[in-house]
Structure 1
Amino acid sequence: MANRHLRVAAYAVCVDDGKVLLARWLGPDGKRWTMPGGGLHHGEDPCDAVHREVGEETGHTVEIERLLGIDTVHERTPRRLRHDRRFHGVRILYAARVTGGELRHETGGSTDRAAWIPLDEVPALDRVPLVDIALALYAERPPHGRLTAPAR
Structure 2
Amino acid sequence: MNGQRGHHAGPKANSLVPAVGAFVLDEAGALLLVKRRDGGRWALPGGAQEVGESVTAAVRREVAEETGLSVEITGIVGVYSDPHRVIEYPDGECRQEFSVVVRARVTGGVLRAGDDAVEARWCPALRVAALDVDPAMRRRIDHGLHRREPYLD
1:146 is aligned, of 142, 147, 152, to 152
How many Å apart are 1:3 and its aligned residue? 6.8
Q: 1:103-141: CA deviations, max 9, x gaps?
A: 0111xx221110001111111111123432222222212
Q: Answer whether contact 2:86 2:96 (CA < 8 A) is retained.
A: yes
Partner of 1:150: none
Matches within 5 A, 1:1-20: 4-16=14-26, 17-20=28-31
Q: Matched residue of 1:132: which SS?
A: helix
How many Å apart are 1:34 and its aligned residue? 0.5
Q: Answer whether contact 2:13 2:86 (CA < 8 A) is retained.
A: no
How many Å apart are 1:88 and its aligned residue? 0.8
Query: Unaligned 5+ residue runs, structure 2?
Result: 1-11
How many Å apart are 1:96 and its aligned residue? 0.4
Between structure 1 and structure 2, the one with the greater Rg is 1
Instruction: Please say if 1:86 is aligned against 2:97.
Output: no
TM-score (normalizing by structure 2): 0.79
Name the stretch that deviates more: 15-24 or 65-74. Answer: 65-74
Q: Matched residue of 1:50: which SS?
A: helix
Query: Unaligned 5+ residue runs, structure 1?
Result: 148-152
Q: One-letter code of the match for 2:20?
A: A
Whole-Å separation in 1 of the counterparts to 2:108 and 2:13: 42
Instruction: Please say if 1:32 is aligned against 2:41.
Output: yes
Identity, in percent, stands at: 34
How many Å apart are 1:18 and its aligned residue? 2.3
Whole-Å separation in 2 of the counterparts to 1:34 and 1:76: 15
TM-score (normalizing by structure 1): 0.80
Q: CA RMSD in A?
A: 2.5
* Larger fraction in strand: 1
Whole-Å separation in 2 of the counterparts to 1:63 and 1:130: 24
How many Å apart are 1:76 and its aligned residue? 6.8
Q: 1:36-62: CA deviations, max 9, x gaps?
A: 011011121110000000000001000
